[in-house]
Amino acid sequence: MMEMEDDNPVVSESESEEDEDVKLSEASKSAVNNKAGLLDKLGDISWPESVDWIHKLSFDIDEENEINVNDDLNRELAFYTQALEGARQAFTVFQAKDMPFLRPSDYYAEMVKSDAHMGKVKGRLLAEKRKMEEAEERRKARDNKKLAKEIQVQKQRERAKQKKDDIESVKNWRKQRKQSGFAGNDQDGDLSLAFEDGKSFERSNKKRPGVTPGDRSGGKGKKGFDNRRKGREKKDSKYGFGGKKGMKKQNTAETTNDFRGYSKNKKQKV
C-alpha cells in the first residue's frame, strides 16, 4: 500500500511566485517536493496512453495572460473564455466524430436544479428587472418635476410681463386721450382708439383650473362647505365616530402577556 520510498526528498527552491497576503512571503525551506515520487505516482494511476479522448473529455486551454485573482471581473472572464474555448473544441470534435451531443428539444430528464429552484431564480431575475424599471421611472418623474418647475417659473415671468405691458398700454391710451382733449367724449364709450399693439382690449378666455368662472378671488378664497366637511372628518378620525366603543379597555392576549409597565420595585396600586 505504501510502497513509496522517501529516498530523495528534494527540498523545494523558492519558485518564483508573487507573494499574497495570506501566503508566506517566502517559500519555507523545509517543504517537501519529491518530484520523482510524484511522477512515479502519476505513472501508477494514469490511464494507458492509448485511451480514446472520448473517455476523458478533457482539454488543455492556453490562457493568454496571468490571471490577477483580486480582479474579480477579469478572473471570471478568464474562466469563462477557457470554458467557452473548451466547449467549442469539444463540439467540433463531436461533430467530426458524428456523435450525438446536443440535447434534442423533446428530451426531458431530471435536471441538476429542481423546477422549484429555477422558479426562484426566475423570480429573482424578474424582481431585479422590475426594480430597475421602477428606478428608471422615479428618475424620469424627478426630471419631469424639475422641468415642470422651470416651465412654471417661465410662465409666471411671462404673465408678469404681460400685465406690465397691459398697464403700460392703458396709460398710453389715457395719455393719448388727454392729448386729443377728450375729443370723442360725447360719443358714448368709444374705445376705438387702438392700444399700442393694435389689439383692442379683450378678456383672455383662458380657463384656469380650480377657479369657477364667477370667482374673482382666483380660487384663493375660502371654500366654505368643503372646508367645514374636512374639519369634521379630522375630528372624527381624532375622537372617533361610529364603531364599537367598549372594546378599547378590554385585555387581549397580547396585553395580558405584556409586562412592560410592571416593575417589581415600583409600588403597585392595591
Partner 1 sequence: MGKKRKHSETEAAANVNKEEIAPERPKRTLFGFKTKSEDKKENDSAPGFRNKEKVLVTCSRRISFRYRHLMLNLVDLLPHCKKDSKVESKESKGTALNELVELRSCNSCLFFECRKGKDLYLWMAKCPSGPSVKFLVNAVHTMEELKLTGNHLKGSRPLLTFSSNFDKSPHWKLLKELISQIFGTPKDHRKSKPYHDHVFVFSIADDHIWFRNYQISSGHTGTSQKLDRGDMEKMTLIEVGPRFCLNPIKIFGGSFGGPTLYENPFYVSPNTIRSLEKRQKAGKYAKKVKAKTRKKMHELENPLEVDEFADMWKE
Residues 67-86 within binding reach of partner 1 (CB under 8 A): 67, 69, 75-76, 78-80, 82-86
126 lies in the site for partner 1, by CB under 8 A: no
Cα separations in angstroms, 82 against 54, 59, 63, 111, 149: 19, 10, 7, 24, 54
Contact status: 116 vs partner 1 (CB under 8 A): no
Q: How many whole angstroms separate alpha carbon 43 and alpha carbon 59?
A: 20
Q: Could you tell me which residues come within 8 angstroms of residue 130 by beta carbon, excluding any fewer than 6 positions away? A: none
Using CA atoms, how far apart are residues 232 and 8, in angstroms rounded to an integer? 99
- The residues in 95-114 that bind partner 1, with binding defined as CB under 8 A, are 95, 97-105, 107, 109-113
**Alpha carbon distances (Å) from 117 to 103, 111, 112, 123, 165:** 21, 11, 10, 10, 72
Based on the shown chain and the rule CB under 8 A, indicate whether residue 217 belongs to the binding site for partner 1. no
Q: Is 270 in the site for partner 1 (CB under 8 A)?
A: no
Distance CA 235, CA 48 (A): 92
Residue 87 found at the interface with partner 1 (CB under 8 A): yes
Nearer to partner 1, 3 or 188 (CB): 3
Q: How far is the CB of 61 from partner 1 (least distance, A)?
A: 5
* Shortest distance in whole angstroms from residue 18 CB to partner 1: 8
Residues 30-59 that bind partner 1 (CB under 8 A): 31-35, 37-39, 41-42, 44-48, 50-52, 54-59
